[in-house]
Structure 1
Amino acid sequence: MSDPTASQAPSYPRVAIVTGATSGIGEAIARSFVAQGIAVVGNGRSADKLTELERELGATFRGVAGDAGDAALIERLFETAADAFGRSADIVVVNAGRGLGGSVKDADLGQFEDVLRINLSGALNLMQQAARVMVEKQATDYPQKPADIVVIGSVVGKHISPFSAVYGSTKFAVHSLAEGLRREIGPKGVRVTLVEPGIVISGFQAVAGYADDMVGKFEDNWGPLLYGEDIANAVQFVVDQPPHVHVSEIMVRPTRQDYP
C-alpha cells in the first residue's frame, strides 16, 4: 500500500549545500536560494545563528553547525541533505573561509595554518565530495538536470595585492583546484564555476584583522562597496542556467574598484 503522506512531502526543484552560511556572502546565498524554493543545508560555526535561520526560513533550510575544515562535517552535510530533503545535493557552494591581513613580510604566520586548513584543505575536501556525488548523479540526469559546484574565490586570487598576498595565495590555490575540477568533470555534466568577489562588506574584515580606518579607506576610494546580496545575485544567475549552459567564471567588483 502506498504511503498516504508521500504526496504531502514538499517537492524542491533543487537541493543545495552552502558553507559559511551564518554571515556575509554565504548567508545571502542561502537566503536567495530559499526565496527561489531551493532547499538548503547551511553550515557555519554558530549553532545559535543556524537555529535562528531555521526559525526564519522554515523547513526549506536546515543548519549543520561545525568547522568547514573538518572532514567529518563535510560528510554530515551530504547526509543531512539526503535525510532532510529526500535526495542528494545538486548545488554545492564552497564558500567558508577566513581572511588574513598583511603582506608577505608582515602577515601573522601564527594564523596561517588555520587559514590554510579552512580556505584550502576544507575547500578541497568539499569539492572532492561534491564531485563524487554529482558525477554519479549526472551519469543518468544530464542533460535533463543541472548540477553545480560554485567556488567562492577572490579578486586577490587572480590579481596580486602585496597587502593581502598571504591570504591571496590560498585563493590562487583554490582557483587552480576549481579549474582543474572543471576540466575533469565538466565533460561528465557537472558545472564548476568560480566566483571572484572584490571588496564585500561583511564580518570578513574583522576576522582578517583589517582596521576600521582601512575599511574606511576602501569606502572612500571605491564605494559604494559590495554586500553579500550582490554576490548572491551572481551565484543565483549561475545556477539558474539551463543544464547545457555553463558560466565558468564571474568576477564582481564595486564599480569604482580599479585595483586589485
Structure 2
Amino acid sequence: MNKIAFITGATAGIGEACAKKLAKIGFDLIISGRRKENLEKLKQKIIADYHVKVLAIELDVRNQKEVESKINSLPKEWIKIDLLLNNAGLAVGVSPVQEGIIDDWERMIDTNLKGLLYITRTISPLMIERKKGQIINITSIAGKEVYPGGNVYCATKHAVDAITKGMRIDLLPHNIKVSSIAPGMVETEFSLVRFKGDEEKAEQVYNGFTPLYAEDIAETVEFIATRPAHVNINDILIMPANQASARDVNRV
C-alpha cells in the first residue's frame, strides 16, 4: 500500500511540482487548492503519468470550518495521511507599513499563518492516532530576514518558522517528524500575485540571474521525505547560486 501525502496550494508552482515528484516516488496524493479546474487537470495528469491514486479537494485554507469539514469527511481509505506538505501561501503588495493595505495584510495572515494552523490542527491528530507521520512546512528566506516592503509577509513567515519549531517539540512524543524548507527567490506565480497581476513588474524580479524553480523545491521535499525513519531534516535554507541574502542578488 502506498503512503499518502496531503498537499495544500497544489494548483500551481511549488505545490504542483511537489505533487508530481511525490507521485513519481510512489505516494498516493490528496491535492488541495482553490482552483478546481487546475486541480482536476493535475489529478488526471498524475494518474496518467504515475499510476497512483489522487483525490482532489477544492479547499480554501483560510476557512477553518471548511478545512475541518472536508478533512474530517475524507473517505476511510484516505485518512491515514503519512505526509502533510503545508505549501499554501502568498505575498500581496510591497507597501511600507505606514501605507499598508489592511486587506493585503489579512490575506497574508489568514493564508500563510492561520491556514497552516487550521490544516495542521486537523491533520496532526490523525497522525498521532497512528503514532507516525511527517509534516513539511514551506517557509521562506523572508522567515529568516526582513526587507523593505516585506513587513507583514516577513512577519507571517517568521511566525511559521517559530510554529514549525514549536510543532517539532509538541509532536516529538508522537513520533511525528517536522521539517521546514525556506527558499530564496523561486520563479513561480509568487511575484505575479505580489504585484497583483502586473506581469512586467513580476518578470523584473527574476531578470539578470537564474532563480530557483519549483522543481528545485520539489527535489528538496523528496530528499526530506525519503530519509530513514531515524533521521529528521529540521530546516533547509535553499537559495539560487546568485543570491546571498534576501536583498543581495548578483544580476548580470
1:105 aligns with 2:98: yes
Give the letter for the 1:117 counterpart.
Answer: D
1:192 aligns with 2:186: no
Q: Give yes or no for contact 1:17–1:77 (8 Å, CA) kept in 2.
A: no
* Structure with greater Cα Rg: 1
Q: Give yes or no for contact 1:37–1:60 (8 Å, CA) kept in 2.
A: no
Aligned to 2:42: 53
CA distance in 1, matches of 2:244, 2:93: 20
1:218 aligns with 2:201: no
1:40 aligns with 2:32: no
Secondary structure of the residue aligned to 2:221 is: helix
Residues 149 and 79 of structure 1, relative CA distance in 2, 3 Å threshold: farther
TM-score of the pair, normalised by structure 1: 0.85
Say how many residue pairs are matched.
Answer: 239
Which of the residues 119, 123, 133 maps onto 2:112?
Answer: 119
Determine what percentage of the aligned residue pairs are the same residue: 28
CA distance in 2, matches of 1:78, 1:27: 24
Aligned to 2:241: 255
Matches within 5 A, 1:143-162: 147-162=133-148
Aligned to 1:5: none
Q: Residue by residue, what CA displacement relative to the aligned partner does 1:34-75 show, whole Å, maximum 9, x if unpaired?
A: 111101100011111111112211252211012111223333
Which of the residues 71, 78, 81 maps onto 1:77?
Answer: 71
Matches within 5 A, 1:85-104: 85-102=77-94, 103-104=96-97
Which consecutive residues of structure 2, in runs of 5 or more, have no partner in the other structure? 247-252
Give the letter for the 2:97 counterpart.
Answer: V
Q: Give yes or no for contact 2:91–2:193 (8 Å, CA) kept in 1.
A: yes
CA distance in 1, matches of 2:199, 2:54: 33
CA distance in 2, matches of 1:249, 1:229: 18
Residues 86 and 214 of structure 1, relative CA distance in 2, 3 Å threshold: closer
Which of the residues 162, 165, 179 maps onto 1:176?
Answer: 162
Aligned to 2:250: none
TM-score of the pair, normalised by structure 2: 0.88
Aligned to 1:142: none
CA distance in 2, matches of 1:255, 1:111: 31
Which consecutive residues of structure 1, in runs of 5 or more, have no partner in the other structure? 1-10, 139-145
